[in-house]
């Protein structure tokens, strides 16, 4: 492998492998799988990724419903932020 990689890259791989308790081969294979967006089971997304989670939710027919924060921004400012400020004022007053 030293003929293929620069010495500094080889050292980084060795350090990462040692820190993770894995072999350099396993580490490189995992990196390549993540780069090519393939998981060990052959699915389109790497295990544990947000894309894989979304794909699993779609396949399980799980719908969370649309939530448009921009449309709710005024409501959020009028309720949640006001509650936060009231709580902070109460905490500040009690610490005096």
pLDDT digits (tens, 9 = 90+) for 31-83: 777 666 655 555 567 677 777 777 777 777 766 666 677 777 888 888 888 88
Predicted TM-score (pTM) of the model is 0.37
Q: Where are the beta strands (DSSP E) in 1-96?
A: none
At 64 the pLDDT is 62
What's the Rg (C-alpha) of the chain? 24
Average pLDDT over residues 9-15: 89
Q: For residue 62, which phi and psi values (nearest 5 degrees)?
A: -95, 125
Better pLDDT: 2 or 10: 10
* 17, 27 contact by CB (below 8 A): yes
User: To which H or E segment does residue 39 belong?
Assistant: none
At 60 the pLDDT is 78
At 19 the pLDDT is 92
At 21 the pLDDT is 92
């Amino acid at each position: 492998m030293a003929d293929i990689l620069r010495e500094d890259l080889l050292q980084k791989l060795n350090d990462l492998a040692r820190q993770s308790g894995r072999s350099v081969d396993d580490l490189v294979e995992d990196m390549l799988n993540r780069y090519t967006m393939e998981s060990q089971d052959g699915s389109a997304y790497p295990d544990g990724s947000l894309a894989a989670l979304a794909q699993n939710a779609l396949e399980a027919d799980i719908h969370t419903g649309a939530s448009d924060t921009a449309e709710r921004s005024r409501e959020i400012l009028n309720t949640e932020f006001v509650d936060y400020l009231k709580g902070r004022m109460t905490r500040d007053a009690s610490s005096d």
